[in-house]
Amino acid sequence: MKNKNSFFICLLLICSLAQSTFAQSGRIASRAEKGMVVTSHYLASEVGNEILQQGGNAIDASVATAFALAVTLPSAGNIGGGGFIVYHGNDGEQTTFNFREKAPLAATRDMFLGEDGKIKANSNHEGILSVGVPGTVAGLYKAHQKMGKLPWEDLVAPAIKLAENGFPSTHYMNSFLEWVKDHKDEELYKATAEAFLKDGQKIYKQGELFKQPDLAKTLKRIQQHGADGFYKGETAQLIENVMKKHGGLITKEDLARYEAEELKPVTGTYRGYNIVSMPPPSSGGVTLIEMLNILEGFDIKEMGHNSAEYLHVLTEAMRRGYADRAQHLGDPNFNPQMPVEKLTSKEYAAKLRETINPEKASVSDSANFSTAHLRYESPQTTHISVVDQEGNAVSMTYTLEHSYGSKITVDGAGFLLNNEMGDFNPIPEHTDTKGFVGTDPNLVAPEKRMLSSMTPTIVAKDGKPLLVIGSPGGRTIINTVFQVIINVLDHEMNIARAIEAPRIHHQWLPDITSFERYGISPDTKVLYEAMGHEVKYITNQGQAMGIFIDAEEGIYYGAADSRSYDGRAVGN
């Protein structure tokens, strides 16, 4: 008995030691020496870390983690959506993978408009027409084919296990499940009720095992046949069946034609550091680099973190970066003339800097953008940061667009479809101060990719990754990544503090800055408003997931944003 007790006490001690060594909370970063994975769900972080421990590299771990999140974080983790991977090896190799969704072949420029020229029944965000051709499986497969080390089957296996055996349900999913319960008798959402409610009827209680047998079967087809397990055969047929049944556009041909692509990253420098980020169809990298270039000419450290003077300069950089984003950016395969080089140049930033009055807010003017609809972008999406034993880094953000995407589940296949078509500009030539943008580069066209704000980024020093960072948050993503980078590089915060620090967001139009409530002092707000800025409060901005590599000490510091429900940095 005594022996048994001391065994359990020992076990408890080992567990708490493991917790304090490797698990992260709040402002204290997690430390590891051989590898680190940070995501919005602890089980997915653990899967990624196990792959690293099995000898997998950063690409292997990010692929396995992404499949695991498709099971444990159905709000944003997915196989029915799309996203981006940015890779930076310890040997200096840099590349990106673009697996953003595409418009189906039958899509048209005005497909969401009624006879009155207005958007019909929110059809770009809701219902079957809002679904884009998914890219995730193609992207993960392509990245693995090119750079993976462990067998593909081994990377899909942990997700299959989680889907088959189930994982403990948390309160996090309850508001979605309440919605599903209310809609369970509607034809369009019957398969969602079947997949997400207990016996198709009831909400899982906290801690009850949530199993997804149909999703496990789909994952097994992907495990066995690679990307073809999704884009061809039974899965493709099941997707086409849903489309035919509900008047959707995606066909087996759309699926068979879908290809992910490898792209050169967009790069810049900031105070001697290299910024490596996602090029279009993400607007993230270009806008981030433009804003950092503008900021480089100010002594922001001297201004002090989140002082009124500092917030003013940040806002003005954001205003200018987001105006250019709206005017110029879209899918490069359809907009070959995008001025990416100009927008990311130091000369252009210097000109923009000259237009900033240090004491007075500029005015966002939509008149310049008569052909331009700042559309709504959902704050849901999710980010994975990984560093392996060699110091190779992956920054990956992927999404279903809204939380749980279109909320339409593929009957018999157990996964949710995105509603990413809402990221196109739906009303051509309509831009207004409320935030509608109708610019040409991002209008709907067959097989075009919708513009994204996802900003998976790696900051490097002397050719080696230093900081791996990204976040969900729709259009706020770029500003979240922007502020975390500045917090580390200028304000010298550790990665956990840099992520926890209160953030702001301005996106050109509407001409309003959001502050996280309780984040910025009322005195600062008064000074900031006196310069001509308008402020609104929001609850939280983003869920950043980051890793800082201290090459000298040989330590990886990881931090999952406490704004996430189940986020965790896990390392070894």
The residues binding ligand GLY (CB under 6 A) are: 377-378, 381, 399, 401, 423, 452-454, 474, 477
CA-based torsion, 187, 193, 194, 200: positive or negative: negative
Cα distance between residue 509 and residue 364, in whole Å: 6
266 with 277: CB under 8 angstroms?
yes
Give the nearest distance from C-beta 371 to ligand GLY in angstroms.
22
Q: What is the DSSP letter of 466?
A: E
How many CB atoms lie under 10 A from the CB of residue 105?
Answer: 14
Cα distance between residue 522 and residue 540, in whole Å: 17
Select the residue whose beta carbon is closest to ligand GLY and give its number. Answer: 452
Q: Virtual CA dihedral for 542, 547, 548, 554, nearest 10 degrees?
A: 170
29 with 557: CB under 8 angstroms?
yes
Give the nearest distance from C-beta 233 to ligand GLY in angstroms.
28
SS3 297: coil
Give the nearest distance from C-beta 506 to ligand GLY in angstroms.
17
SS3 136: helix
Active site residue 381: yes
User: Could you tell me which residues come within 8 angstroms of residue 42 by beta carbon, excluding any fewer than 6 positions away?
Assistant: 566, 567, 568, 570
Containing 52, the helix (H) or strand (E) segment is helix 42-53
Cα distance between residue 53 and residue 73, in whole Å: 23
Give the nearest distance from C-beta 381 to ligand GLY in angstroms.
5
User: Which is nearest to 278 in space by CA: 145, 426, 405, 394?
Assistant: 394
Give the nearest distance from C-beta 331 to ligand GLY in angstroms.
12
Helices 284-295 and 346-354: crossing angle in degrees, nearest 10, is 60
Cα distance between residue 560 and residue 337, in whole Å: 38
User: Which is nearest to 210 in space by CA: 171, 156, 153?
Assistant: 171
User: Which is nearest to 379 in space by CA: 518, 270, 507?
Assistant: 507
Q: What is the DSSP letter of 452?
A: B
Kindly report the length of the chain: 572
Nearer Cβ to ligand GLY, position 385 or 442?
A: 442
Nearer Cβ to ligand GLY, position 291 or 361?
A: 291
User: Which is nearest to 399 in space by CA: 69, 107, 59?
Assistant: 69
Q: Which residues pair with 571 in a beta bridge?
A: 36
Give the nearest distance from C-beta 417 to ligand GLY in angstroms.
14
Give the nearest distance from C-beta 474 to ligand GLY in angstroms.
5
Nearer Cβ to ligand GLY, position 340 or 549?
A: 340
In degrees rounded to 5, what are phi and psi of residue 222?
-70, -40
Active-site residue identified among 287, 381, 439, 455: 381
* End-to-end Cα distance, the chain: 33
Q: Are strands 513-516 and 535-538 parallel, antiparallel or unpaired?
A: parallel
Q: Look up residue 399 and give its two tokens.
A: 């999404």
Nearer Cβ to ligand GLY, position 56 or 405?
A: 405
Give the nearest distance from C-beta 283 to ligand GLY in angstroms.
8
Cα distance between residue 178 and residue 72, in whole Å: 18
User: Could you tell me which residues come within 8 angstroms of residue 9 by beta carbon, excluding any fewer than 6 positions away?
Assistant: none
Give the nearest distance from C-beta 512 to ligand GLY in angstroms.
19
Give the nearest distance from C-beta 442 to ligand GLY in angstroms.
11
Cβ burial of 487 (10 Å; 0-12, 13-18, 19+) is: buried
Q: Look up residue 367 and give its two tokens.
A: 């008149």
By annotation, the residues acting in catalysis are 381
